[in-house]
Amino acid sequence: MSTPYAKLPAWADYGLIPVINLFVAFVVAGLVVLLVGENPLRAAAVLVEGAFGRGQGIAFTLFYATTFIFSGLSVAVAAHCGLFNIGGEGQGYIAGLGIGIVCLAFDSVLPWWLTFPLAIVAAAAMGALWALIPAYLQAKRGSHIVITTIMFNFIAASVMVYALVGVLKPAGSMAPQTRTFLDGAQLPKLNWVIELFGAKIRSAPFNVSFLLALAMAFLVWVLIWRTRFGYEMRTYGHSPKAARYAGISETRIIIMAMMISGALAGMMALNPTMGDQHNVALDFVSGAGFVGIAVALMGRLHPVGIVLAAILFGMLYQGGAELAFEMPAISRDMIVIIQGLVILFAGALEHMFRPYVQALFASLSPRTVGMEAVKGKGA
Amino acid sequence: MAQAAIELIGINKSFGAVRANRDINLEIVRGTIHGIVGENGAGKSTLMSILYGFYQADSGEIHVGGQPASIKSPNDAIALGIGMVHQHFMLVDNFTVLENVILGAESDALLKKSIAKARSELERLEREYGLEVDPDAIIEELPVGLQQRVEILKALYRGAEILILDEPTGVLTPAEADHLFRILKQLKEQGKTVVLITHKLREIMAITDTVSVMRQGTMVATRETKKTTVGELAELMVGRRVLLRVEKGEAEAGGVKLAVKNLTVKDSRGVTVVDDISFDVRAGEIVGIAGVAGNGQSEMLEAISGIRRAVSGSVMLDGKPIDLTGAADPGELRDRGLAHVPEDRHHVGLVLAFEENENSILGYHDHPRYLRGPFLNVDAIRDDARDRIAKYDIRPADCRLKTANFSGGNQQKIVLAREMEQDPGVLIVGQPTRGVDVGAIEFIHKRLIAMRDQGKAVLVVSVELDEIRSLSDRILVMFAGRIVGERGPEATEGELGLLMAGVEHQEAAQ
């Protein structure tokens, strides 16, 4: 009959609360920095400066963000269907196999703009396939998707080690990676866009897969809120019983949603391979699939939020690298702690400050939360 | 002697734009049973939540036993001797009665001592108030009536002098409800104060001493129960005259529209819950299924609508048989003209997190009218939703509002509007007015009768005997998974009650 929390204006709900959460995360991170004997304010300045201060930093931030947009969208699609896809890491990694095969086969014959679509299809197909098996087991056998997708991360890692150490490695090479792709499988950089605004960039891997990521964000929005399939997915995600009542097939919806989720996770492999390193190397995903979980949660499972959260995490990656360089006392592991705190406060403890913000709004200006001014004695 | 146990002065409480309580003044006299009635959303539960410390009033004062009290949490309320029995029980299912009673009120770090102490205390309470429960029984093995008794014991064990019961009879059989009322009377005789929140006026008349009526967040009247009538209370609740009994003409039943044949359903544990039942519903009649909750009605509805797989049986829709034992698809049945208003609108009939307009197509989302290729035709969906909001007087009239923000009656109207507007040949309705306020009940009943008069076959399952009697042209009584009798609408409550209790046909006829 009544909601436990009073409603907040939309700007506070979607703007103020995430900012407060972030702020608290940084305050706690600041304490950790203080603990290792560095100045937290200077650390924050280095971090932000490193991420956005120069064109070079911005390009790297957006490069990292590209991968996180894909992995965040992947988690969000599954989550709208009530499924927790933890397997983005493995789905992205195995997609590298598809990309590798396509690129090695066509980079000498086709221009990049023909190789790219083929690689997109290959990456999406491999990711979808890797998600299909856990999805089938969930739908038909009731095996828990969280467990099976985690297990498939390990299987993917093993398969990739096998492929990169044996099959895909050029003869005579010592490194567990494919040969370097030729021009026909190298994605054009987008650094010139940033340079239009007057910034200078030496070299940065920011590339056209960023545009693909934005296009996917839009398509995911269309899928979830504007298609029949998205409607069925959300129905199932909120209430499996209502889905049954509405005649929606549980098996079909689980398998399709997971395959779309897997396809998106697969596409995240395009950015580091074709966009940056121009090869497929061991461990090239390096945790981006897991970061996607935090990105999706922080972005409230909405594509716009996910793009913004991905840029935030891109900033933490890029700024963090600068920080580790500038302040030797702050190691790479410290950066992981800071990222963990952001995930903790923005994701897991998302609603911690909500009641206080609401109380504040209610007492400061009752009208904004829809109350008439309270007359009479105070409680 | 007429000392106030609780006094509320000028209580105000708002949730967002909704003023749930405005300037409430209420005095509850010690040692009485005080009823609070009102439609859903009138603010009864909010007021009691404030009293029990779940919510803080925006302004106003609470006096307990003549002293101003500050109740910031349920712990404060308990310390002041206020106990609450919730509509949805707050019990740990796999704990014993004793363990549940002491939960959170353990007297010692070691459980053994607490349990021994609680055992003797429980025995005393049982003696004094006639609250017999086996202290070592596991909660999930107890019927709901006994579970509720455990809730009452919990409150008394914590020293409650004032007991608040929120819609206590919603889940009880008539016999269990009677027993509850005897317990409440006994509590009263022992000097306890009871506050009873309900929207069932008959209960108010049966056991309360005083009754207060709430409407749209305000306290509109307080009456001595002896000096008021059901009619007056209903009028006060709704703010206008209410027809307590639906007016309807004679049924003009036509051919058989829905025939259920040899339906048998087992639950997940393999127990037969619906046992080989067959019946017909003809065009232009309302068939009511009466029965105490849990006698297979829910499973029968789910099987007929294709949600639950049957062990055997089929339905004939318009002369075409559909087997219910295979993977019967609710979508297919819907396409064949069977509309279904499920019993559980919160989890089955609606997705509460959806906007109203999104729920207005649930189950019909594959209808070509709502699609453009694979895309939803949002304009058509919202247009239809707005039309229905107007036609069914759904409030607030906002098709973009989240469904969870509508009151129970309006949520039910959303489901009914969706199912009725598809112009189905057969309409099956589970608990048409559960948790729905008086004004909406009248509206829903009129709509169901209008469906009948249009020549539709209507099947109504309800645990409210009054509702079955006033709506139905024929009444089937279900007991232990079987149909144990058929009666006309003129059947007396006593006669149906005996059938519902499983007493044999011959005895019932005497």
Lowest mean pLDDT among A3-7, B17-21, B380-384: A3-7
The answer to whether residues B233 and B377 belong to one domain is no
Say if the Cβ atoms of B307 and A245 lie within 8 Å.
yes
Number of structural domains in chain B:
2
Q: Which residues from B are below 8 Å from A248, CB to CB?
A: 331
Q: Is B383 a domain residue?
A: yes
Q: Which residue has the tokens 């988690």?
A: A75
* pLDDT score of B506 more than 50: no
Q: Which residue has the tokens 């024929």?
A: B474
Q: Is B174 a domain residue?
A: yes
pLDDT at residue B204 in the model: 87
pLDDT at residue B475 in the model: 95
* Helix residue ranges per DSSP H, A268-347: 270, 288-298, 303-326, 332-342
CATH architecture of A36-348: Orthogonal Bundle (1.10)
Q: What are phi and psi of B196, to 5 degrees?
A: -115, 115
The token duo for B19 is 């003023």
Say if the Cβ atoms of A379 and B60 lie within 8 Å.
yes
Shortest distance between the Cα of B377 and any Cα of chain A, in A, equals 8
pLDDT at residue B115 in the model: 83
Looking at the DSSP bridge assignments, the partners of residue B223 are B211
The answer to whether residues B200 and B346 belong to one domain is no
pLDDT at residue B177 in the model: 82
Q: Is B37 a domain residue?
A: yes
Looking at the DSSP bridge assignments, the partners of residue B290 are B477
Q: Is B244 a domain residue?
A: no
pLDDT 10s digits, B246-282: 778 887 888 999 999 999 999 877 888 899 999 999 9
Pick from B19, B329, B342: which is nearest to A247 by CB?
B329
The answer to whether residues B233 and B273 belong to one domain is no
pLDDT at residue B254 in the model: 86
Q: Is B250 a domain residue?
A: no
Instruction: Kindly provide the ipTM of the predicted complex, given to two decimals.
Output: 0.83
B401 touches chain A (CB under 8 A): no
DSSP of B183-196: HHHHHHHTT-EEEE
Shortest distance between the Cα of B59 and any Cα of chain A, in A, equals 4
The answer to whether residues B175 and B226 belong to one domain is yes
The answer to whether residues B226 and B282 belong to one domain is no
- CB of A218 closer than 8 Å to CB of A303: yes
Mean pLDDT of B56-75: 89
CATH number of residue B470's parent domain: 3.40.50.300
H or E stretch at A230:
helix A228-238
The answer to whether residues B280 and B220 belong to one domain is no
Encoded amino acid at B170, one letter: G
Residue of A nearest to B408 (CA): A1
A211 touches chain B (CB under 8 A): no
Q: What are phi and psi of B330, to 5 degrees?
A: -55, -30
Structural domain containing residue B26: 4-238
Pick from B20, B362, B375: which is nearest to A2 by CB?
B20
Say if the Cβ atoms of B19 and A231 lie within 8 Å.
no
The token duo for A110 is 């086709």
Adjacency order of strands within the sheet including B162-166: B82-85, B162-166, B193-198, B33-38, B210-215, B218-224
For residue B239, how many C-alpha atoms fall within 13 Å in the half-sphere facing its CB? Answer: 10
B15 touches chain A (CB under 8 A): yes
pLDDT at residue B507 in the model: 47
Q: Is B334 a domain residue?
A: yes
pLDDT 10s digits, B458-490: 999 998 888 898 899 999 999 889 999 999 988
Domain ranges of chain A: 36-348
The answer to whether residues B349 and B274 belong to one domain is yes
Shortest distance between the Cα of B111 and any Cα of chain A, in A, equals 33
pLDDT 10s digits, B22-47: 899 999 999 999 999 887 667 888 89
Q: Is the dihedral of CA A87, A93, A95, A97 positive or negative?
A: negative
Q: What is the pLDDT along chain A (379 residues), one digit of tens a residue?
A: 333 344 677 777 777 888 888 889 889 989 988 988 889 899 889 989 999 988 899 999 999 999 999 999 999 999 999 999 999 999 999 999 999 999 999 999 999 999 999 999 999 999 999 999 999 999 999 999 999 999 999 999 999 999 999 888 998 888 999 999 999 999 999 999 988 888 888 889 999 999 999 999 999 999 999 999 999 999 999 999 999 999 999 999 999 999 999 999 999 999 999 999 999 999 999 889 999 998 998 888 999 999 999 999 999 889 988 888 888 888 878 778 887 888 788 777 777 888 888 778 777 765 544 433 333 333 3
pLDDT at residue B201 in the model: 80
The answer to whether residues B326 and B381 belong to one domain is yes
Pick from A1, A7, A241: which is nearest to B407 by CB?
A1
Q: Name the DSSP letter for residue B225.
A: G
Q: What are phi and psi of B213, to 5 degrees?
A: -115, 130
Pick from B57, B61, B362: which is nearest to A235 by CB?
B362
Q: State the Cα–Cα distance between residues A317 and A298, nearest whole angstrom.
A: 16
pLDDT 10s digits, B396-434: 889 999 998 888 889 999 999 999 999 999 999 999 988
CB atoms near residue A310 (< 10 Å): 31
Say if the Cβ atoms of A227 and B376 lie within 8 Å.
yes
pLDDT at residue A54 in the model: 87
Say if strands B375-376 and B474-479 run parallel, antiparallel, or are unpaired.
Answer: unpaired
Shortest distance between the Cα of B54 and any Cα of chain A, in A, equals 10
Lowest mean pLDDT among A285-289, A344-348, B133-137, B305-309: A344-348
Cis before A188 (ω within 30): no
Q: Which residues from A are below 8 Å from B17, CB to CB?
A: 7, 370-371
Pick from A228, A235, A374: which is nearest to B58 by CB?
A374
The answer to whether residues B207 and B309 belong to one domain is no
pLDDT at residue A197 in the model: 86
Q: Is B280 a domain residue?
A: yes
Mean pLDDT of B195-215: 88
- CB of B288 closer than 8 Å to CB of B472: yes
Residue of B nearest to A358 (CA): B16
Which of A312-324 are b and which e, b meaning 16 or more Cβ less than 10 Å from the residue's Cβ? bbbbbbbbbbbbb
Pick from A226, A241, A377: which is nearest to B376 by CB?
A226
* pLDDT score of B299 more than 70: yes
pLDDT at residue B106 in the model: 74
Q: State the Cα–Cα distance between residues A59 and A210, nearest whole angstrom.
A: 11
Q: Which residues from B are below 8 Å from A221, CB to CB?
A: none
pLDDT 10s digits, B432-460: 988 787 778 889 999 999 999 999 999 99
- CB of B255 closer than 8 Å to CB of B442: no
Q: Which residues from A are below 8 Å from B340, CB to CB?
A: 245
Q: Which residues from B are below 8 Å from A228, CB to CB?
A: 365-366, 371, 374-376
Encoded amino acid at B39, one letter: E
Q: State the Cα–Cα distance between residues A204 and A276, nearest whole angstrom.
A: 8
pLDDT at residue B16 in the model: 67
Q: What are phi and psi of B412, to 5 degrees?
A: -65, -35
